[in-house]
């Protein structure tokens, strides 16, 4: 009987131990499954984040930026190397100013046209009055010095000056940036053809539009800069002697002077009348009001003085 009891007790303990062990195993298995799920979810979330990041800034952009970087470095190496002759490749914007005294305006415009054509230039702006003429001439930069030195063929030179703005660094820097932008544009166009999703397509297309816009602005600036470098400006101002026109000496128009004198006199009197009117409308009422307040407070009635006296007597009591 006792043996049976010991056997039953042993089986009971074994069953309990197995149950606990099984429970522990189940618990461990459950924890492992949960950890696995959590790890899987974490990896998934990271993957999604990386994917979104790749969409916003695709890996192809890094290749694109690397290409642009090396392109700029190559340009900088060319323009900053010892082989780059700065003097021969210098970019200057030249401007000249010439003041002339001439005897006649009748054929002077034709002289200026021939002068511009002689140096392969052209006239952009002109202005003429009864005793003066001015013109802006564009000539190739290589002809600028000769044109300035021979301006005396047009008339008697009273003054002459010139200046040059060195834009070499700006020119080659802009050229380098344009080349880099073109590389970026070509890269993006190739990536646009390979885009697999609509989101990638829209992202790359947005970046491409920005690059094209920047490139167009740079090319426009380069076009203007190149034009200013290639064609120098000469400003010519010519004057007849004081008091002269093409028909000869012109006497002053005394009638015109007297007319201006009368007009200025009328304007002065009209302005003086307006000032008097303002004084009557605004100043007189103000003076009357100030006089009334003085009479009321300090004058014959003297309300303010009486108040002070009353307060003084009350204080003494």
User: For residue range 148-188, what is the model confidence (pLDDT) as tens digits?
Assistant: 999 999 999 999 999 999 999 999 999 989 998 999 899 99
Asked if residue 309 has pLDDT above 60, the reply is: yes
Q: What is the mean pLDDT of the chain?
A: 76
Give the pLDDT mean for 55-83. 52
pLDDT at 40: 39
User: For residue range 223-273, what is the model confidence (pLDDT) as tens digits?
Assistant: 999 999 999 999 999 998 876 666 655 655 667 777 788 888 889 888 888
What ranges make up the beta strands (E) of 150-215?
156-166
For residue 196, report the phi and psi dihedrals to the nearest 5 degrees.
-100, -25
276 vs 39, more confident: 276
Burial class (CB in 10 A: 0-12, 13-18, 19+), 85: exposed
Asked if residue 70 has pLDDT above 60, the reply is: no
Beta bridge partners of 161: 97
End-to-end CA distance of the chain: 127
Query: pLDDT-based confidence at 285, cuts 50/70/90?
Result: confident
pLDDT at 251: 56
pLDDT at 213: 94
CA distance 186 to 213: 14
Count of C-beta atoms within a 10 Å radius of residue 31? 10
Token pair recorded at residue 292: 């009334």
pLDDT at 196: 85
140 vs 250, more confident: 140
Q: What is the DSSP letter of 241?
A: P
Task: Provide the greatest CA pair distance for the chain.
Answer: 159
Give the pLDDT mean for 35-56. 37
pLDDT at 243: 65
Query: pLDDT-based confidence at 111, cuts 50/70/90?
Result: very high
Helix (DSSP H) and strand (DSSP E) numbers for the chain: 9, 7
Asked if residue 67 has pLDDT above 90, the reply is: no
In the chain, % of residues over pLDDT 70: 68
């Amino acid at each position: 009987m006792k043996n049976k009891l010991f056997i039953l007790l042993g089986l009971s303990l074994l069953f309990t131990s197995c149950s606990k062990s099984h429970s522990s195993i189940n618990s461990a298995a459950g924890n492992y499954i949960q950890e696995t799920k959590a790890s899987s979810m974490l990896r998934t979330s990271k993957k999604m984040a990386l994917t979104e990041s790749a969409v916003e800034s695709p890996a192809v952009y890094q290749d694109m930026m690397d290409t642009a970087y090396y392109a700029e470095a190559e340009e900088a190496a060319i323009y900053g190397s010892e082989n780059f002759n700065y003097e021969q490749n210098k970019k200057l914007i030249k401007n000249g100013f010439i003041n002339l005294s001439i005897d006649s305006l009748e054929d002077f415009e034709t002289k200026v046209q021939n002068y511009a054509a002689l140096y392969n230039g052209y006239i952009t702006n002109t202005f003429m009055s009864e005793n003066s003429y001015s013109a802006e001439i564009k000539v190739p930069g290589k002809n600028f010095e000769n044109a300035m030195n021979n301006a005396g063929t047009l008339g008697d030179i009273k003054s002459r000056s010139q200046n040059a703005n060195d834009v070499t660094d700006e020119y080659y820097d802009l050229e380098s940036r344009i080349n880099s932008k073109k590389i970026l544009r070509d890269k993006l166009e190739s990536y646009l053809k390979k885009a697999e999703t609509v989101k990638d397509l829209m992202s790359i297309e947005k970046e491409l539009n920005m690059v094209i816009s920047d490139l167009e602005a740079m090319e426009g600036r380069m076009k203007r800069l190149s034009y200013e470098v290639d064609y120098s400006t000469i400003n010519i101002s010519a004057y007849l002697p004081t008091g002269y026109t093409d028909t000869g000496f012109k006497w002053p128009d005394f009638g015109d002077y007297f007319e201006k004198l009368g007009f200025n006199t009328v304007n002065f009197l009209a302005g003086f009348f307006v000032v008097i009117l303002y004084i009557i409308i605004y100043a007189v009422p103000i003076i009357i009001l100030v006089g009334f307040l003085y009479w009321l407070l300090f004058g014959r009635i003297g309300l303010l003085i009486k108040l002070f006296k009353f307060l003084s007597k009350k204080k003494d009591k």
